[in-house]
Structure 1
Amino acid sequence: MPEPTLADRLRACERSAVHLETRDGYMRSDPRFRAWQNGVQEDPADRNPQLRPWLALVAELDARGVQVRRARVVSEPVSDYVRYEYDVTAGNIDAGEQVRWLPRRRASDLALPGNDFWLFDDHTVMFLHFAGDGELAPNDEEIRTEPAVVKLCASAFEAVWERAVPHDAYRPV
Structure 2
Amino acid sequence: MTVGIAIRVARPADIARLSSTLGTPHGDFFAGRLPLQEAGLGEVLVAWRGGAPVGAVFVSWDVADEPEVRKHLADVPMISHLQVADAHRHRGVGRTLLRHAEQRLRWRGHTRVLLGVDKSNEVARRLYEWLGYVQPDEPELCDLGAEPGRTADPAAETYDILVADLYRGGPGWP
- TM-score normalised over the length of structure 2: 0.30
Q: Which has the higher contact order (CA 8 A, sep 6+)?
A: 1
- TM-score normalised over the length of structure 1: 0.30
